[in-house]
């Protein structure tokens, strides 16, 4: 009996030692993910799926700030310290040029074989000095959300121009307030001083024929009458069809107000479609989306957004991290993400997927919006785009809050951008 007990204890010791060894050999990686809408929920579910299929890997999900400026600040703390604590980063479409030196060339880890599945414009955006530093994950463009029930109630059309939006918003806002909702507004959007305001304001300016802040030929083009008029137009909305508090709103603030039934129109990204149709939304089934209105140029403008996956050069498990990034950016997870979060895939074939089109018809109906967008000038201003954006959104914000008039703010903006970049002034009509 003692002999069997000794043998049993020996086996337990050997198995325990082997298990401990396996635990030590288990690769552990961390994904820095977003927390807007259902993003975090998706990231955790996708990580769990990967772990189920790769039992030798543990994936942690790090929650990051909603505002892209705050998220970038957090990333820089890790990257500039060459920290291995984060392996895979969810990066904004405007960051690859500025952060490329911190990331691996994913072409060396299998991305080259699948790159042609994605929109090539995004692949090119993420390629720096011949290196693919980020995998396309999902793409974005600004959309106009509208209460279709209220437009039908008051016999109004979806606005095609900013002036039509202003007139319709004012009319229905007054009617709804007379009907007993004093908190109702005509239009909510992203007016806080951060990257989101750069996106909104670029749409106003570009659709009005005012250019894209800095041209591709490296000329500062913002100081023109069309740009000034567009910024002033938005300032005139505040305290009228938009609440004064819009100057402190980001995406989630606007979304919550719209979903509470307190706004007719909203500018936001595609993710808000799924949350607007959730069980807790007051407007479930009562809204739809359309292209943003046009200004004097005669055409709509939607700022290109979207997020990508980059792998840190400082990762202790680069092969595993790259494999996980490829898994997240692949067709199966992009489809799951699209169905769960209403975010647009970067894989072209998924736009023919009937499950996605049935769930979110706008992805097919507004396909041209997502493939014909206006890009923020991150390429012609690299590696100083984030400073350029801050100059732009701070100047616009000063107009929205009444601290400056549009003409003066734009003139100072031009001088600041010239000093920052060393560029001359240019024609906004040039690309």
Confidence band, pLDDT 50/70/90 cuts, at residue 21: very low
383 cis-preceded (ω within 30 degrees of 0) = yes
Would you tell me which CATH number, out of the four given (3.40.50.620, 3.40.190.10, 3.20.20.370, 3.40.50.2000), belongs to the domain 143-303+377-425? 3.40.190.10
Q: Could you give the percent of the chain with pLDDT greater than 90?
A: 85
Using the predicted structure, report yes or no on whether residue 12 has a pLDDT greater than 60: no
Q: Could you tell me which of 59, 61, 63 has the C-alpha nearest to residue 71?
A: 63
Cα–Cα distances in angstroms (integers) from residue 262 to residues 142, 231, 258, 392, in the given order: 20, 24, 6, 29
Q: Token match 């300016």: residue?
A: 205
Looking up tokens 């951060």 gives 194
Other Cβ atoms less than 10 A from the Cβ of 273: the count is 22
- What's the rounded mean pLDDT across residues 161-186? 97
Measured CA to CA, the distance from residue 370 to residue 190 in angstroms comes to 20
Q: Which of 235, 212, 185 is nearest to 376 (CA)?
A: 212
Any alpha helices (H) in 141-224, and if so which ranges? Answer: 148-153, 162-178, 195-207
Over 60: is that where the pLDDT of 97 sits? yes
CA atoms within 13 A on the CB side of 295: 23
What are the helix (H) ranges across 26-119? 39-53, 68-80, 96-99
Closest C-alpha to 42, from 337, 260, 370? 337
Phi then psi for residue 193, to 5 deg, are -85, 85
Structure tokens at 255: 């979304």
Same fold, 2-141+305-371 and 143-303+377-425: yes
Instruction: Say how many residues make up the chain.
Output: 431
Question: What's the helix, strand, coil split of the chain in %, to 5?
Answer: 50, 15, 30
| DSSP assignment letter at 244 | G
Q: Where are the domains of the chain?
A: 2-141+305-371, 143-303+377-425
Q: Say if residue 428's pLDDT is above 90.
A: no
Residue 386's contacts (CB-CB under 8 Å, 6 or more residues apart) are: 69, 72, 94, 98
Q: pLDDT for 239-280, tens place per residue?
A: 999 999 999 999 999 999 999 999 999 999 999 999 999 999
Query: Is 275:44 a contact under the CB 8 Å cutoff?
Result: no
Alpha carbons 369 and 141: distance in angstroms, whole number: 7
* In 215-353, alpha helices (H): 225-237, 251-259, 271-276, 318-329, 331-341
Of 340, 374, 349, whose CA–CA distance to 215 is shortest? 374
Q: What is the pLDDT of residues 107-119, one digit of tens each?
A: 999 999 999 999 9
| pLDDT recorded at residue 9 | 36
Q: What's the pLDDT at 344? A: 94
Range scoring the smallest mean pLDDT among 5-9, 136-140, 289-293, 371-375: 5-9
**Domain topology for 2-141+305-371:** D-Maltodextrin-Binding Protein; domain 2 (3.40.190)
Q: How confident is the model at residue 46 (pLDDT cuts 50, 70, 90)?
A: very high
Q: Give SS3 for 265.
A: strand
Q: Do the beta carbons of residue 134 and residue 309 sit within 8 Å?
A: yes
> Is the pLDDT score of 431 beyond 70?
no
DSSP letter, residue 207 = H
Predicted confidence band of residue 307 (pLDDT cuts 50, 70, 90): very high
Residues 6+ apart with CB under 8 A from 337: 42, 46, 137, 138, 343, 345
Q: Label residue 24 by pLDDT band (50, 70, 90).
A: low
pTM for the whole thing?
A: 0.86
Question: With 50 as the cut, is the pLDDT of residue 7 above it?
Answer: no
User: What is the DSSP code string of 290-328?
Assistant: EPPPB-TTSSB--BEEEEEEEEBTT-S-HHHHHHHHHHH
pLDDT of residue 280: 92
């Amino acid at each position: 009996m003692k002999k069997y007990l000794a043998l049993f204890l020996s086996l337990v010791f050997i198995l325990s030692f082997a298990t401990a060894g396996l635990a030590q050999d288990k690769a552990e990686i961390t994904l820095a993910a977003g927390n807007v809408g259902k993003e975090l929920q998706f990231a955790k579910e996708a990580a769990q799926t990967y772990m189920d299929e790769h039992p030798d890997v543990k994936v942690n999900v790090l929650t990051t700030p909603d505002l892209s400026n705050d998220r970038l600040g957090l990333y820089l703390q890790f990257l500039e310290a060459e920290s291995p604590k984060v392996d895979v980063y969810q990066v904004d479409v405007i960051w690859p040029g500025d952060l490329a030196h911190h990331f691996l060339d994913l072409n060396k880890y299998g991305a080259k074989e699948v790159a042609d599945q994605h929109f090539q414009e995004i692949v090119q955006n993420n390629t720096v000095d011949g290196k693919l530093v980020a995998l396309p994950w999902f793409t974005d463009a600004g959309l106009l959300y509208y209460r279709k029930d209220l437009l039908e109630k008051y016999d109004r059309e979806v606005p095609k121009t900013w002036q039509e939006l202003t007139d319709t918003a004012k009319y229905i806002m007054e009617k709804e307030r007379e009907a007993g909702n004093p908190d109702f507004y005509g239009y909510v959007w992203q007016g806080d001083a951060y990257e989101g305001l750069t996106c909104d304001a670029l749409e106003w300016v570009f659709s009005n024929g005012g250019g894209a802040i800095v041209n591709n030929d490296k000329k500062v083009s913002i100081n023109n009458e069309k740009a000034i008029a567009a910024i002033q137009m938005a300032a005139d909305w505040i305290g009228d069809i938009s609440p004064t508090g819009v100057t402190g709103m980001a995406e989630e603030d606007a979304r919550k107000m719209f979903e509470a039934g307190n706004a007719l129109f909203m500018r936001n990204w595609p993710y808000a479609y799924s949350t607007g149709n959730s069980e807790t939304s007051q407007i479930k089934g009562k809204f739809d989306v359309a292209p943003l209105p046009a200004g004097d140029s005669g055409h709509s403008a939607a700022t290109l957004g979207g997020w990508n996956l980059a792998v840190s050069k400082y990762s202790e498990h680069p092969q595993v991290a790259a494999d996980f990034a490829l898994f997240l950016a692949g067709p199966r997870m992009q489809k799951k993400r699209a169905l769960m979060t209403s975010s647009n895939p970067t894989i072209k074939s998924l736009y023919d997927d009937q499950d996605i089109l049935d769930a979110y018809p706008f992805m097919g109906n507004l396909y041209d919006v997502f493939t014909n967008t206006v890009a923020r000038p991150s390429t012609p201003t690299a590696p100083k785009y984030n400073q350029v954006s801050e100059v732009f959104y701070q100047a616009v914000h000063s107009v929205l809050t009444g601290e400056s008039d549009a003409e003066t703010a734009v003139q100072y903006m031009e001088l600041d951008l010239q000093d920052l970049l060393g560029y001359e002034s240019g024609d906004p009509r040039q690309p």
